[in-house]
Chain A
Amino acid sequence: MTALLSVDDLRVETSTGRTLLDGVSWSLDAGGRLGIVGESGSGKSLTALAVLGLLPEGMRATGRVLLDGTDLLTLPPRALGRVRGAQVAMVFQEPLTALDPLMTVGRQITGPLRLHRGLRGSAARDEAARLARLVHLTDTERILRSYPWQLSGGQRQRVALAMALACEPRVLLADEPTTALDVTVQAEVLDLLDDLVDRTGVALAFVSHDLPVVARVARDLVVMRDGRVVERTTVADALAGGEAAYTRDLVAAARAVTGLPTPTRTAPEDAR
């Protein structure tokens, strides 16, 4: 089975020649759920940004990022723009800054609808309302008229999810989407994400430093450290004791702090 999205020997270097990512490879099948875990600075977020060609200025990516056999790294800007949001969408860590404070939530959600699906006017508004309900926002009329800073953290991240899913992408990159949230809200958003992946069939790449969080939504697991992939495994195998020593350290540390699910829990769907 060919993968939907595969990252092949991805390297990222700064203009000064420092290597930030060194030979990162993983793949994501249609409808798959991949967790990418590692400490801060391990390059996991950078990987997600590199997939979409959104690296900070001065960084350069080499290698291949294949979406259905098309290399995104060599795609011209215009064609890449048609992939972003429509085929591959992304949710970021801090929903307050990721949303434009000067624009109502409604207009921000209808933006990609118009850009990729050509919806405008009442059709776009109706679709935005549907998306808002999809991400379990209540009182959608009021929320669509609000500005991001008038909403709670959980509401903001739901809005960000609605924007990302607006054009029914095939891949959703989630970069620490729950890290900035309160613990209770975190659980709600994880449940929602889990549910959305089930319902829409979008393939999920979930980036987090937080192994227990990854374990709730992901099935496959990539463990990263210092810009390299330490181990590619499944969540279940990792919890049962990964092959790499570093993976075992991560699991042990997480277990010591939080009481990670026992090794018998394999399917993340059970987590609810």
Chain B
Amino acid sequence: MRAALLRIGTLLISLVLASVVVFVVLRLLPGDSAGTSLGVGTTADQLEQLRSELGTDQPVVTQYVQWLGQVVRGDLGTSFVSRLPVADLITQKLPITVPLSLAAFVMAALVSVPLGVFAAVHRRGPVGVAVSAVSQLGVAVPVFWVGVLLVLVLALQARLLPAGGFPRTGWDDPAAAVRSLVLPVVTVAIAMSAVMVRYVRSATLDVLDQDHLRTARSLGYGRWHALARHGLRGAAVPVVSILGIELATSLLGAVVIENVFALPGLGTLLLDSVKARDLPVVQALVLGLTAVVLVTNALVDLAQRAIDPRLRLSKEVAA
């Protein structure tokens, strides 16, 4: 319990640090964001107005504290480009990005965990060899290329699924919405599976090498029974950590892949904002995505502590 609170404490500190980094990078690196965001032909008045709107005429620390205060209250500022509240912009996009990344994550996990375990147990068998070869190749494949190839074959040539876009009606027409998300989900899932299978396989191999598995077999447990009783728990520790990393990856994969499939989600919003130098939107999105990653990491740590008594008990002794 105490360790869990401690972990939540460090999570909060990391979140604050991340917000400092995002803030500092965007404000202090060379290039006045106010000037660049308005472009050429800006009058001094406009610039001045924007600066006071941004608060860039105030000391940096004051700016930061004000901004953080607003963020905590849920006020993410106003977009330079659309003049809409950033919070609203983000909320609009969530119904595309969240289902996309979660579905891809679940699909990848469902494929890679069993496949990785099987490939490790039969490491010299045809499946084991094929899995390690394909995944070695798979980690070298860029996710957007997978998307492009799937579009080429399944959408443009076979005409099975839409090549991109999202129905204007959104989730009011669930069938159309799902159809437009199938290829993006499969794309992200394929790219993630290549990485996950490798980790699951190597975590399982480590477990298979362990003496206590041999002990279990010497007591009469069969190969799979021993693995289920003693191995999976041990393999779960590294696997949980890779699942955590991959949950974050699926979100970032979604950011890239939305651009392949012209899906109006968070990724497209982020990219458009980066190109337009729409500072408030970039700031909010980067901080938000980073926060998701940091929270996931903290959850992974807590989950590992729950699985492995060594982490749980030794930390508590130390605390």
**A residues within 8 Å of B by Cβ?**
52, 54, 57-58, 77-78, 81-86, 89-90, 92, 94, 97-103, 111-112, 115-116, 147, 149-150, 160, 163-164, 166
Contacts and interface: CB of A to CB of B under 8 A. Distances in A.
B220 A86 contact: yes
Interface string B198-217: 00000000000011101111
Interface stretch (B8-16, B30-38, B46-54, B308-316): B308-316
A84 B218 CA distance: 5
A135 to B, nearest CB: 16
B218 A101 contact: no
**Chain B contact residues, majority secondary structure:** helix
Contacts of A166: 219
A150 B313 contact: yes
A97 B211 contact: yes
B222 interface: yes
15 contacts: A54-B218, A81-B221, A84-B219, A85-B218, A89-B218, A92-B218, A98-B212, A98-B215, A102-B230, A102-B233, A115-B219, A115-B221, A160-B215, A164-B219, A166-B219
Give the 10 A-B CB pairs with smallest separation, nearest first: A85-B220, A85-B219, A97-B211, A84-B220, A90-B218, A100-B212, A112-B219, A98-B215, A100-B230, A98-B211
B159 interface: no
A51 B193 CA distance: 41
A177 to B, nearest CB: 12
Interface string B210-244: 11101111111111000001100110000000000
Contacts of B216: 100, 111
Nearest to B307: A102
B211 A92 contact: yes
Given A101-B212, A164-B219, 11 more contacts: A54-B218, A81-B221, A85-B219, A92-B218, A99-B215, A100-B234, A112-B219, A115-B221, A116-B220, A147-B313, A163-B219
B124 interface: yes
B218 A102 contact: no
A111 B216 CA distance: 9
B65 to A, nearest CB: 46
B303 to A, nearest CB: 14
B164 to A, nearest CB: 47
A92 B124 CA distance: 27
A154 to B, nearest CB: 18
A78 B229 contact: no
A99 B308 CA distance: 14
Nearest to B210: A97
Given A92-B211, A97-B210, A111-B229, A102 B219 contact: no
B179 to A, nearest CB: 44
B308 to A, nearest CB: 6
Nearest to B222: A81
A87 to B, nearest CB: 9
Interface in B285-317: 307-310, 313
Contacts of A92: 211, 214-215, 218
A54 B217 contact: yes
Contacts of B219: 84-85, 89, 111-112, 115, 163-164, 166
Interface string B240-274: 00000000000000000000000000000000000
A111 B215 CA distance: 11
A201 to B, nearest CB: 20
Given A92-B215, A102-B233, A115 B310 contact: no
Nearest to A48: B218
Contacts of A85: 218-220
Contact of B310 (A58, A77, A83, A101): A101
Nearest to B223: A77
A187 to B, nearest CB: 24
Contacts of B233: 102-103
B318 to A, nearest CB: 14
B314 to A, nearest CB: 9
Contacts of A97: 210-212
B93 to A, nearest CB: 42
Nearest to B232: A102
Interface string B121-137: 00010000000000000
Contacts of B230: 100, 102-103
Nearest to B214: A54
Nearest to A160: B215
Contacts of A81: 220-222
A115 B211 CA distance: 20
A57 B121 CA distance: 11
A97 B210 CA distance: 7
A97 B309 CA distance: 15
Contacts of A82: 220
A149 B222 CA distance: 25
